[in-house]
Structures are given as structure tokens and as C-alpha cells.
Chains A and B, each alone.
Chain A
Amino acid sequence: MSEYLLLIVSAILVSNIVLARYLGNCPFLGVSQKMDTAVGMGMAVIFVVTLAGMITWVVQYAILNPLGLEYLRTIAFILVIASLVQLVEMFLQKSIPALYKALGIFLPLITTNCAVLGIAIINIQEEYDFMHTVVFSFASGVGFTLAMVLLASLRERFPTARIPTTFAGMPIAMITVGLLALAFLGFTGLVD
């Protein structure tokens, strides 16, 4: 049990998918202007990442490995993830139209979110078993959401902050992200 706990802490804080592994920067900067869309995006990513982790694990061990086609991993995973995101999009449009509208263009963008592909590949590289894959994928998604929420809560305060005009907009967001990443560096060593 403690093993899973460590895996979770590691995925959320120590090797945070955005702030330590630098994956998924596009939605991280793109949707983090408002808290509610940031949370929505985070939830969508958790959902997609967990599902993608499970399915890609099955694809790897049920199809690619037995056929000796490990070298096709990337392309196979992209295919799976792309179809999965389509599915999620349809599902959201039907079931949670509010979230579907809030995410807008960023939902199809999850297709090209390298965090999703990255997590799927890490799962295989680290040779996790199925349970570990599920836990790690889910925790990585939570880590992504945490980073999103942190940045969104900071960016929501920008309008009231006295930012030099040169830095206004994207530059100050980048600087903030850098500082966040630096802060997360402090978790190094928390888990072996």
C-alpha cells in the first residue's frame, strides 16, 4: 500500500508531469487564465490520461509484445489516444455539455497533448504492472491538475498586480511558471 502512496506522491509532487518533466505545456499555459476552465481541463486530462494509460498498457502487452512490434509503440499509442479523445469529446457533449463548452477548442487539443502520450510511454518504460499503471496515470493527471490550478489561481491575480508593461501578458506567465517549477524542485529527494 505504501508503495502506491509513494508512487502517487512522486507523480504529483516530485516528478510533476508539467513542472518537473515539462510535458503538456500547451494546455498548461493556454487554459490557465481562469480557474474554472483550468479545473475543467484538469479533470478532462485526469480522465483521458487514466483511460489512455490503461488502454495503451493493454495494447502494449496484448498486441505489440506478443507480435514483437514494440517499435510501433509511439504510432500505436498516438492512434489509440486520438480515438480516445474523440470518444471523450462525444461523451462530454452528450453528458456534460457545460464542461464541453467551457473546454471548447482545448478538448480536441488533448489529442496533441504530449503529457498523455508521455505518461503512457513512461508506464511502459518503467515496466509498471496494470495496477501501477492505473495509479501512476491517475496521479500524473492529478499532478497536471494541481499545476493548472496553482497557475490559474496566480494568473487570476494578474489584473490587480502592478506588472511592468513590458512583462504584461505571456512574459509574466512564463516567469510565474518558471518560479513554480523552481518551487517544485524543492520536492526532490522526498521520494527515492
Chain B
Amino acid sequence: MLAAGLAIGGLGLLAGVGLAVASRVFYVYVDPQIIEVEEALPGANCGGCGLPGCSSAAQAIVVGQLAPNACVGGGPDVHTKVAEILGVEVELKEPEIAQIGCRYSVAKADIKYLYDGVYDCRAAMLLNGGAKECPIGCIGLGSCVKACPFGALSMGDDGLPVVHEDICTGCGTCVRTCPKDIITLTSVSNRILGEYTTSECTAPCQRTCPAGINIPEQIRQTVLGNYLEATRIIKERNPLPLVCGRICPHPCEFECRRNLEDEPVAINYLKRFVADYERASGRRLQLFKAPETGRRLAVVGGGAEGLTAACFMARLGHSPTVFEAMPKLGGLLRTVIPESRLPRDVLDWEIEGILEMGVEAQTGKSLGRDFTVASLLKEGYEAVLLATGGWDAMLMRGQEPNVEQSVPGLYLLLPVSLAWALGIDVPVGKRVAIAGGGEMALDAAKHCLQLGAEQVTIFHRRSQQELGLPDSELTKLSDQGIQLLFRSTLTQLKGIDEQLTQLVYRQLASGNGGDSIRSAPGRFKETFLAVDTVIAAGGRLPEMIFVKVPSLEGEESPLLWQTISPYHEPPPVRTEGVFDTSEPMSDYRAAVEAIGAGRRGAASVHLYLAGKQVIPPENMITTVTKVLDVGQVENLMPAEPRQKMPERTTEERVDPSLEVELGLNEEMARQESARCLNCGLICYTRSKYH
């Protein structure tokens, strides 16, 4: 016994001494910072940073391959500590938490078969993608719960996982585990930037809403009596719920699944009810904001679009300033909508709320007159978003007919042609580009030549054959100095200080068949063209984002600027590019569409500032995307008929300043919200399942 103990003990001692010696002999210098950083990291080896473990993460952080805030499991305390060790400033990471994207458990969804196999989602997934009919629904076997290294997930009574937000670190282990990709990591920024995609559970109303409000959740909160929470859900996507609740043409209601049974849920009345509730409560909701970035942004145009864009920029942590030509903010909402539909005190309250989010406003300042794009960029605004909307008939403004130039070198065709017809002198440069076709463009081109232009280029979206222009005509025009480019579109403007210098256009390679540039995106080449003047054949200027081109020559050099286009819905609804002559250039039919575009404008600026590509997610849902849906509904709960909006009597309506629609009362709102089917992709509330 003693011998055995001694023998093994001696062997151990020998090995120990041997290793101690070896560690001296084979000593490798390790940066002490790496060891310190590794000690500061949580040591959960969750892999959330993308590296296999905390020790490799520590190495990558020290050599600079990872940012000090790369640890997702650690949170701000760890980030600060790591940054302290490295002696750098840390940009605190916005907290991200997991969010479950499925609302109907297997028991309440349409299923293909009964699963009775290995108790793991990934195993169930192998059997024809799981038991649910819905291809993106939760399988409900809790693989995510088992995978979570922090114990932040549990299975709820309804058979769906529940995230405990206070424990969740956003490491993403559950996201990687879930075979259905129904768990996503969200942060305030992600929710603002997010577009609905085909891999998400969305209701028909939600997909149709141009602003993308999560309508099922809004109404669910109304049913529960959480009216403020319902308002918050709306404001997450639409900062103008009081306005929209009154004037929105509610395309969502046309798609409401209740149409299959009786009448749609009065979604917009409900929106107005909860928004009015917030206002009546006298206390404004505080919306979540991303950490301050201190970056100054300018928004030109204080209408629905500009205000929305500025509000979302502020929520993304930036410091936006809105410039409005009129003495008061509100744009068309103030100048065009009658008071009987939208009382001005309601609008004022709403705008006040946006300003309270951290938006500055300068009213009575007009682009081109009081300030210019270049002057804003010089003042330190990092990007200028042009959201001037439909208010650009420059000739109409003021007493004397005059064509203002709000963007350097840029005119709209209509006011310019009118001015010329009236004999007003509008100068053009030596090199002119006209975006858009038609006889008017040709006339304008000829007029430009008379005014001293040497070269005029007309950009046509369609092909020569389509336009039916014979070659002889082209030769004639080019002899005069007018060149026509077919199947082409302008994508970018560039300039120096107050001068437009260059444009970038895309042209489809010839011989590709097809007709217009929109039918074959991707097969184009980009070309630069030096120009002094651009005349756009559209009713208004499209949204453009102006940014500074980084220059090596320091502060003294002239300011170089260029435009970037905010992303829209992908083709064929709207194509990329600055000018889209085949439609009235984002001339919004309703405030809610401008709100959607405003959010995308803010998102585009944010993406640009973050150094990312300004493009929408690949599988973004557009108005033409085909998604799984149901053609009929069955076993619905008994419900009251749709509520009617109480209105003022005809006698009372004599006073035009009194609002006609009075809004639902609480009882009516409760009854109406109970009619909602709380739809998912194909799920909805029924009286009995299976």
C-alpha cells in the first residue's frame, strides 16, 4: 500500500517538477494585457462574439481584431473594464435581447401530424420541417431553453418560450440553436431599422401598413387595457399616432382577415382611441432611445416625412435638426388638412412630443435662400436628408414668379419651363442633364442650347424602340448638341461647395433584350458625367441624403459633397436611384406613406454613418411579396358588429374648426378590439382548435 502510494506520488512529483522545468524552458511571452482581459471577460465561452471561447476573444480584443465591446455576454460593466485595461474609450454597446417571434403554440396552430419523437426541436425539424403547417412557427420542444447558458429562457404555460429580459445577455446562443430562426436579437436600433421579412411571422394588416406598425400587438394590448403600451407599440413605428388616427386611409383594414367573415376591425379608430388616451392622460410616453452618439444631422422639410425621419434619428441616438421654410412645423398636415379633420392643437401636441425626443427645429428657414446643403455640411452636420415632399412648386411661392434653386444646380422641369414660357430668365450651365423624357424635356433641351449650353444629355428610362425614335431623329438631335441616353437613370449627384459638378448614371448594357431599366436590375454599368445643371422632369425632388466626401486636404480645401439615395422598397414597386421618372417620385398619397419613408430615410442615414451599405434586407416584404396566408377563417369567437365612429350632428358641423369625428369611448374600444383575430402568418384566434 505504502509502495503503491509512494510510486504514484513519486511519479506525480516527477511529472510536476518536469513540467515546472519545461514551463521555464518553453516560456512564451504572453501579452499581460491578454491575461488581464481574459480575466475581465465572463468566461462563459458562449461564442456570442463569434470566436470559440473567451481566451481567443481576449487575444482578438488585444490585437484589435475585436472591439472592446465585443463581448455580448458581458454587458457594459465588462466593456468598460476591458476598455480600461486597454486604455481606450469604449463605445457602449446597445443592449440586445432575444425576442420570440411566434405567438401560437403547436396546440393552437394548424398541424400536419402529431409529433411523438425525441424531445428536441432540431429532431422534430427533421420530420418534414416540424409538425406545424406554418413553416416559420415555434416547434415548442424547448431546445432554446436547454441551450441558454444564462438560464434566461423558460417554457411558458402556453407552450412557447419566454425570455426573462433582465437575465438575457443577448449572447445569441438560442438564436443559433432554434432550427426555425424564430428567435431574433433586438435592440432599439434594430427595431427602428428593421423591415419585415419573409422569415418573420407577420399579420396581413401589419404587412400592409406603410409605416409597419405591429397592429396585432397594439390591439392585444388594447384588449388587455394597457392603452399606454398600445400607444408605445404604435410609436415604435409611427411617431404621429394622433394625426394618423384621424386622417389615415388605413390600408391595413382592407387586408384585415375579418373581411373574410364580416367587416374589418376598425384598426384606425382604435389607434386614435389609444393615442387620445395618452394625450388625455397628460403625460407623454417616454420612448426608448439608443445611447447618444453626438452626431449632428440635418433634415430639410418639417412635414410628416421630415418630422418622422428626425424623430427616428433622435431615437437612434443622433442629434437631428429640422429645417422648415414655413413659420410652423407640420407641412401639409398643417396647411392642407382641414381643421375639422385634424384640429391644430392635436397636431401641435404631437409635434411637441417629437421635439421632446431630442429634435431641434429651425422654422422659417428655406433651403437655397437661408442656407444651402454645403453650408449645413460645413457647419458640422454629418448628413443632410432632403425630405421636402410635395411642396416644391417653387414658382408658386411668394409674390413674384421666380425659380428658386434649393439644391445646387438642380431644377424641376415644370417650374423652369413655366418660367421660360413667362420670359423669366433662369440661367443654366454649359453642360446640362435632363432626367426624364417627353416632348417637354426635348423643348427644354433646345431652350438650354439657346441659353448657351454646349452639351445637353437627356436620360431616358425606356429604350429607343419603345419610344419609337428613329435613328435619323437621333442624328439630327446630336448635331444640335443633344444626346439621348436610353434605359438609363441618374443615381448620384456630386458637387463642390455651391456647384454641381458631376452626376453618376446607370445604363443597361445594350443588346440585353428587355425594355426598361427596371425589368433587369443588376445588368447595368455606372458612368460619371460632368454637368453643371440637372433638370428633373418630376413634380418634386426625391429624398436625397447629402454627405461630405472625405478629403485629404484639411479644412481649407473646398467642400466636396455627394448624394446617397435612401433605400426604398425594392423593385418593381420602386427602383433605386435618385430619379424615378416613371412614377411621380415618391409623391405620397397619404401621411402614413411619408411616415414610412421618413423612417427609411433615417434608417438609411444611420446605415451610412455606421459604414454599412444602404440597402434593405434581402427578403424584405413588399407590397408584391407572396407570403403564406389563409383564404378562409373558421370557428371564430362570437363578436359584436364593427363600431361606428360617433360624429357631430350636421347642425354642429357649421363651425369648421370643430372636429367632426369624436373618437370611440373606452367601452366601444374594448368591444372593437375584442373583434381582432390576433392574426399571425396563418394562425388566428378561434373558439376551438384542431
Binding partners A and B: yes
Chain A contact residues, CB within 8 Å of chain B: 59, 63-64, 67-69, 72, 75-76, 79-80, 82-83, 86-87, 90-91, 93-95, 97, 104-105, 166
Q: Which residues of A contact B28 (CB under 8 A)?
A: 90, 93-94, 97
Output the least CB separation between B43 and chain A (Å).
Answer: 15
12 A/B residue pairs, CB under 8 Å, sorted by A: A69-B7, A72-B8, A80-B11, A82-B15, A83-B15, A83-B19, A87-B18, A90-B19, A93-B28, A95-B26, A97-B28, A166-B126
* A111 CB to nearest chain B CB (Å): 13
Known: A87-B22, A90-B23, A166-B126. A79 touches B12 (CB 8 A): yes
Contact A64 B26 (CB under 8 A): no
Q: Which chain A residues border B15 with CB–CB below 8 Å? A: 79-80, 82-83
Q: Are A75 and B18 in contact (CB under 8 A)?
A: no
In the bound complex, do residue B3 and residue A104 qualify as a contact, i.e. CB atoms below 8 Å apart? no
Q: Are A86 and B11 in contact (CB under 8 A)?
A: no
Q: A83-B15, A90-B28 are in contact. List 10 more A-B contacts (CB 8 A).
A: A59-B11, A64-B7, A67-B3, A69-B3, A69-B4, A79-B8, A79-B11, A79-B12, A80-B15, A104-B56
Residues of B within 8 A of A75 (CB): 8
CB-CB nearest 5 A-B residue pairs: A83-B15, A94-B26, A90-B26, A93-B28, A87-B22
Most buried by A among B7, B18, B23: B7
Interface centre among B3, B22, B52 (most CB of A within 10 A): B22
**Closest chain A residue, CB of each to CB of B129:** A165
Residues B1-33 near A (CB distance < 8 A): 3-4, 7-8, 11-12, 15-16, 18-19, 22-23, 26-28
Instruction: Tell me the number of A-to-B contacts counted with CB atoms below 8 Å.
Output: 53
Residues on A with beta carbons closer than 8 Å to the beta carbon of B16: 83
B contact residues, range: 10 to 19
Docked Cα-Cα span, A93 to B16, in Å, equals: 19
User: A63 — nearest CB in chain B belongs to which residue?
Assistant: B7
Nearest chain B CB to A122 CB, angstrom units:
21
Residues of B contacting A79 with CB < 8 Å? 8, 11-12, 15
Q: Which residue of A67, A80, A86, A90 has the most chain B CB atoms within 10 A of its CB atom?
A: A90
B residues near A (Cβ < 8 Å) are 3-4, 7-8, 11-12, 15-16, 18-19, 22-23, 26-28, 52-53, 56, 126
Q: For B26, list chain A residues within 8 Å (CB).
A: 90-91, 93-95
CB distance from B325 to the nearest CB of A (A): 59
Which chain B residue lies CB-closest to A92? B26
Bound-complex Cα distance A29 to B8 (A)? 33
A97 neighbours in B (Cβ, 8 Å) = 28
User: Are the C-beta atoms of A67 and B18 separated by less than 8 Å?
Assistant: no
- State A69–B6 Cα separation when bound (angstroms): 11
Q: How far is the CA of A72 from the CA of B6 in the complex (A)?
A: 12
A76 neighbours in B (Cβ, 8 Å): 7-8, 11
Residue numbers in A under 8 Å from B4 (CB-CB): 67, 69, 72
Task: Tell me the nearest residue of chain B to A87, going by C-beta.
Answer: B22
Taking a contact as CB atoms closer than 8 A, the residue among B12, B19, B56, B126 that contacts A87 in the complex is B19
Q: For A72, what are the chain B residues with a Cβ–Cβ distance below 8 Å? A: 4, 7-8
Question: Are B8 and A83 in contact (CB-based, < 8 A)?
Answer: no
Q: Separation in Å of the B57 CB from the closest CB of chain A?
A: 13
Cβ of B19 and Cβ of A86 under 8 Å apart? yes
Tell me the smallest distance from the CB of A162 to a CB of chain B, in Å: 18
* Complex Cα–Cα for A126 and B505 (A): 80
Among candidates A59, A67, A105, A166, residue contacting B52 with C-beta atoms closer than 8 Å = A105
Closest CB in chain B relative to A55 CB, distance in Å: 10
A90 to B30, CA, bound (A): 13
Chain B nearest CB from A151 CB (Å) reads: 21
Given the complex, which residues of B lie within 8 Å of A64, measured CB to CB? 7
Q: Which residues of B contact A67 (CB under 8 A)?
A: 3-4, 7
Q: Is the CB–CB distance between A94 and B11 below 8 Å?
A: no
Query: In the complex, what's the smallest C-beta–C-beta distance from B682 to chain A, in angstroms?
Result: 23
- Distance in Å from the Cβ of A117 to the closest Cβ of chain B? 15
Tell whether, in the assembled complex, residue B27 and residue A94 are in contact, meaning their CB atoms are under 8 Å apart. yes
Smallest CB gap from A75: residue in B: B8
For A91, give its contact among B18, B22, B53 (CB under 8 Å): B22
A94 to B12, CA, bound (A): 24
Residue of B nearest to A166 (CB): B126
A72 to B27, CA, bound (A): 33
Least CB distance from A116 to B in Å reads 15
Which B residue sits closest to A83, measured CB to CB? Answer: B15
Complexed CA–CA distance, A67 and B8 (Å): 11
Assembled-state Cα–Cα distance A156/B685 (Å) = 49
A residues less than 8 Å from B11 (CB atoms): 59, 63, 76, 79-80
Write out the residue numbers on chain A whose beta carbons fall within 8 Å of the beta carbon of B53: 105
Q: Report chain A residues within 8 Å CB of B52.
A: 104-105
Q: Which residue of B lies closest to A89 (CB)?
A: B26
Q: How far is the CA of A63 from the CA of B27 in the complex (A)?
A: 31
